[in-house]
A and B are shown apart, each in its own frame.
Chain A
Amino acid sequence: MASARIDTTTAGSRRLTPELAVTSTNGLIVVVALVVALLFPLLVDEALVGVGFVALLYAYRNFTWNIAGGFTGLLSLAHGAAFGVGAFSVAVLTWTHGYNAWLGLVAGVAAAALLGFGISLIMSRFGVVNPFFFALSTLAVTLILAGIAASWDVLGSANGLRYTGLESGFLHLQWFLDPLPFYYLTLVLLVIVTAGVAAMLRFTHFGRSLPFIREDPVMAASMGIRVVRNQAYVMALSMGLTAIAGTLLAQYIQFASYDSVLTVEIAVAMVVGTIIGGSGTLAGPIVAGIGLAALEEFLRSFEVSSTNVSSYTQIMYGVLVILLLRFGTDGVIPLWNSGLRRVFSRLGTDRGGASRSQPPPAHTDDAGVLSSRAGGV
């Protein structure tokens, strides 16, 4: 990694190092992607805007899972339950009882966060540190809640709940079949949550402690990190944010039942999507979410029945995972970054960039370099 550093030895003039080139390229891609995302609904027809909404929803859903699963290493399948809690919260409070939809959303977030907090504390209490046991126990949570939803009339039992109201507009978080507002709402949500989490990871003690909790909880504890407490907070944050995705989807399809919004498949999709994209990276879950949604739509264009789409999707997941295993197990984004780095360092040596293989002597770097410290992007 010695080459990946800003070289200030030559009369203080900064040369473009591969690391800086990678960061700049990725920054440019983020800007372009944001512009494209903003213009997308204006350029395509309404059906594709719906696809765009689903893609952003997948991206957001994956991203929220990644907070606990990727950054903190809590391999949770309880996020399927969190998604369902968000959906059923608005279904029960708003559709059945007529409270405002935003209240339903907030209640869903609170309930899912509380659920995540409780699950994490119980796991810590019973000393569940093995990620496989953590996955199995949290899988049980999703299964139990799905079972309750399937048999309790308040949650629609087998028939599900339906929105029959007439109100629409931002105040009611409902635009019936118009996907455009849903699209932009999800985009704004995704940008805010991504920026917020990125800042949290970089600037707060809590956020910076998460990789240490993931890699070695015992060492983390010896550095003054309250492991049990931080894990509980992270699960609360992660599952609370997942619930918003559930609420939005329920409002969009105006339907919530145990087998549409509270399933193990949803939890697995979040896990698989994040791992394919690159768990523990900011961009990975988003890229994978959008990519997988596009893939589903692409498969749908072959005029297969909707039941087959999901099985084709499963096959594509499998193929993607096999490809990743072959070309690098860390996911799309780490693969992309290392590829870019290789390209740029080759370009650098072709131009005759001198002796960059040696680490620069200590104390020669100026303070500004700190800002270029490799982040988790």
Chain B
Amino acid sequence: MLEIAHMAKAFGGLHVLRDVTFSAQSGAVTALIGPNGAGKSTLVNIIAGALRPDGGTVVLDGDDVTGSSSPRAFQLGISRTFQVSGNVGNLNVFESVALAAYRRGGNYKQANRLAREELERFDLWRYRNDRLGDIPTAMMRLADFARGMVAEPKVLLLDEVMAGLTPHEVDTVIEQVRYCRDQGVAIVMIEHVMQAVQALADHVVVLNHGEIIAQGPLSEVARNPEVIEAYLGTPPADAETAQTSG
């Protein structure tokens, strides 16, 4: 289980995160949603060790892992996906999975065997010799999953894995997220595609301006007026009444 408590982060005078507290259960999907600039990516970067928080704690299965470096966080069992772009497209599919497999210990042969198993599980074995940038987008996302999962993580951070996929592809990826969840991994996903949030999220955390404005099951959160306002803005009629009454 991953517990985030009183997380705070500021860039200069800009408070990106303020007193963020939530937990992500193992074997469950926690969705981080919120408008652009809400601080979701910053939060994920802190959990993965790419950024240091100004305050607050990250606790993984009872151990305080706050402020670990990226490689250390990975060794502790926090895997993350990346939005494949730019140079990353040059990298080999097989190698990217094999390299992550070294976390489970062992040597060249063992890492390759684990990578092969994982690629076959995700039905990606046929793409093993290709560059990440050359395979279809949905397959690229799955390759990223395979890379995350081959390390047998305790936490898997998914950063907008559904972006740019067709509804059919989203369904395929949803299948795979369910599979990862059923392995007992605590999944934290930043997601804008509601189809995926609806299908997967056991727990939804809504961030706006660096603060949690609601959390709970999607059905509850979706009715929360503050959430609706954050996403859609204040309706013109309400805005007028708000002005006159305020």
Contact = CB atoms under 8 A, between A and B. Distances in A.
Interface of A: 1, 4-5, 203-205, 208-209, 211-212, 214-216, 218-219, 221-227, 359-363, 365, 370, 373-374
B202 interface: no
B151 A222 contact: no
23 contacts: A1-B131, A5-B129, A204-B108, A211-B90, A211-B91, A211-B92, A215-B88, A216-B87, A216-B88, A218-B50, A222-B48, A222-B73, A224-B71, A224-B102, A225-B71, A225-B99, A361-B126, A362-B120, A362-B123, A363-B125, A373-B128, A373-B129, A374-B129
Interface in B110-157: 111-112, 116, 120, 123-126, 128-131, 134, 147, 151
B75 interface: yes
A362 B96 contact: no
B134 A1 contact: yes
Nearest to A214: B87
A224 B74 contact: yes
Contact of A370 (B86, B90, B112, B123): B112
Contacts of B50: 218, 221-222
Nearest to B70: A221
Given A215-B88, A374-B129, 9 more contacts: A208-B99, A212-B99, A221-B74, A222-B50, A222-B74, A222-B79, A223-B96, A363-B120, A373-B94
Contacts of A208: 95, 98-99
- Across chains A and B, which 9 residue pairs bring their CB atoms closest together, nearest first? A221-B70, A224-B74, A215-B87, A362-B126, A203-B108, A224-B71, A222-B70, A223-B100, A216-B88
Nearest to A5: B129
Contacts of B21: none
B9 interface: no
B101 to A, nearest CB: 10
Contact of B99 (A223, A365, A374): A223
B82 interface: yes
Contact of B71 (A211, A215, A226, A363): A226
Chain B contact patch, size range = 35 or more
Interface of B: 48-50, 69-71, 73-75, 79-80, 82, 86-88, 90-92, 94-96, 98-100, 102-103, 108, 111-112, 116, 120, 123-126, 128-131, 134, 147, 151
A28 B74 CA distance: 43
A208 B108 CA distance: 10
A211 B132 CA distance: 13
Contacts of A360: 126
Nearest to A219: B82
B110 to A, nearest CB: 11
Nearest to B69: A221
Contact of A224 (B75, B91, B96, B120): B75
A373 B97 CA distance: 14
Given A223-B99, A362-B120, A212 B126 contact: no
Contact of B82 (A211, A222, A359): A222
Contacts of A218: 50, 70
A205 B70 contact: no
B80 A211 contact: no
A124 B96 CA distance: 24
A221 B116 CA distance: 22
B91 A215 contact: yes
Contacts of B82: 216, 219, 222
A121 to B, nearest CB: 16
Nearest to A209: B99
Contacts of B95: 208, 211-212
Nearest to B127: A359
A97 B116 CA distance: 57
A218 B129 CA distance: 23
Nearest to B147: A223
Nearest to B91: A215
Contact of A223 (B69, B74, B123): B74
- Residue of A216, A223, A370 most packed against chain B (CB within 10 A): A223
